[in-house]
Structure 1
């Protein structure tokens, strides 16, 4: 049985252990490059940042940010998080990507081949992304903890 750190903290491989993959997503049957290959961390981060900016701008349509008023900014930030959750969960559930993901050319795909990610998986992905650490740590296949928990992978669309 592998150590709990075996996916992200390398050490000497025991005899009979499987070979590391040649590229990210090889064990999943994904191509090395191009459409359908595992998306890189940079594209995922830029997509998240675009989504956060979109959520902030949408929130600004309804609540005026006031940098001098702490209570107003706390309210603004809470509403921004709620808007971010909505603009993340709904599009990922039905289309597999958010506005930020579309900008960077990536999408979420289920490993079982189903077309839609689904609401429960999208909610878990958003909740774990909010915590940040599960989204930041990836294994040799380029899948974060939130991908592994939900049975998904983020792939390139172009």
Structure 2
């Protein structure tokens, strides 16, 4: 084996190495029965980050208006506003304002309908902890989505 070949497989990661050996992972969402592209396919990472940025900015503005305009107080309340806003909007219409603007929706894997209220609560609490949202599987689902039986898809 050439040194460049060994270094190349190491740099490409385990998925590329497994694919070189013949493993077929398919596209993201294939294991979940979702389409590869278009409506109902797995939401792209960039749009998800954009949506959470928009939602956090909205929550920060609301928190700033509700507090005595001290940055320390605003930061604490921004998380509370963000979580309440997420719980209410995902639990009722399936997406936050940021997700809606970027064409995303949170759905239940059981039938791909709206996420039940108790699952939305579990997902929101885990999202507030941040760490579960940063642990992803190969379908780009965060641990908060996996544990609540949810998936973020394109509208």
Q: TM-score, normalised by structure 2?
A: 0.79
Larger CA deviation: 22-31 vs 74-83: 74-83
CA distance in 1 between counterparts of 2:114 and 2:123 reads: 14
SS of residue matched to 2:42: coil
Runs of 4+ in structure 1 off by over 3 angstroms are 9-13
Q: Runs of 5+ in structure 2 lacking a partner? A: 1-12
Map 1:42-121 to 2 at 5 A: 42-66=46-70, 73-113=71-111, 115-121=113-119
Of structures 1 and 2, the one scoring higher in RCO (CA 8 A, sep 6+) is: 1
RMSD (CA atoms): 2.0
Q: Does 1:22 align with 2:26?
A: yes
Q: How many residues align?
A: 138
Q: 1:118, CA displacement in angstroms?
A: 2.4
- Contact kept, 8 Å, 1:90 with 1:119, in 2: the verdict is no
The aligned counterpart of 2:121 is 123
